[in-house]
């Protein structure tokens, strides 16, 4: 493998701007790469960790190349319980929506389960948020609308049928 070059610590603010720009340009792999470069210098850089989480979730899509577990590995590195709950909710919400877009058999049930998990995390985040931060509620509402709008429901429980002969 090619030995990667390290960026200068002084270049981190500009690199963080690039993360946002490449995400807006729908180039999440470039944004992801930049985040890894920043984290190689400052392994606890919260902006880079959040940018990485978002860039990875930007890659949830029809091919399902990146899974939830790969993204969730970064959540424990976030500072504070609010950030952990909020961004874990974002991961589950975005993954659920990618399941809906894939539209495979059972995707609606899977999406419902993941959206319910996101709702719980957004509830937790909101309880930890300040009065001027309703981001968790905005996402909670978006998840609720996705459930209602797509008419999602829980997977039916299979009842064991005993046939008597």
Predicted pLDDT at 165: 43
Domain limits at 113?
A: 80-154
Please calculate the CA angle 29-69-111 and round it to the nearest 5 degrees: 95
Residue 58: how many other CB atoms lie within 10 Å: 18
Distance in angstroms (rounded) separating the CA atoms of residues 43 and 35: 10
pLDDT band at 158 (very low <50, low <70, confident <90, very high): low
pLDDT band at 65 (very low <50, low <70, confident <90, very high): confident
Predicted pLDDT at 97: 94
7 occurs within a structural domain: yes
Structure tokens that stand for 124 in this block: 């937790």
162 occurs within a structural domain: no
Residue 10 has pLDDT above 60, yes or no: yes
Helices (H), the chain: 12-24, 28-41, 46-58, 68-72, 81-102, 107-128, 135-149
Residue with tokens 């960790």: 49
Residues 96 and 148 in one domain: yes
Predicted pLDDT at 116: 98
36 occurs within a structural domain: yes
Residues 50 and 93 in one domain: no
Quote the pTM value. Answer: 0.90
Residues 92 and 141 in one domain: yes
Number of independent structural domains in the chain: 2
Residues 140 and 85 in one domain: yes
């Amino acid at each position: 493998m090619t030995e990667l070059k390290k960026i200068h610590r002084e270049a981190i603010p500009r690199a963080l701007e690039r993360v946002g720009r490449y995400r807006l340009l729908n180039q999440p792999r470039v944004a992801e790469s930049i985040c890894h470069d920043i984290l190689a210098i400052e392994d606890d850089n919260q902006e880079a960790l959040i940018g990485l989480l978002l860039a990875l979730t930007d890659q949830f899509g029809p091919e399902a190349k990146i899974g939830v577990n790969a993204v969730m590995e970064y959540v424990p590195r976030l500072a504070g319980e609010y950030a952990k709950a909020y961004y874990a909710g974002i991961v589950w919400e975005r993954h659920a929506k990618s399941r809906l877009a894939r539209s495979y058999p059972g995707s609606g049930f899977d999406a419902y389960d993941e959206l319910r998990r996101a709702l719980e995390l957004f509830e937790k985040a909101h309880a930890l948020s300040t009065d001027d931060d309703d981001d968790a509620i905005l996402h909670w509402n978006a998840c609720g609308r996705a459930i209602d709008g797509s008419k999602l429901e829980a997977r039916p429980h299979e009842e064991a049928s005993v046939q008597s002969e």
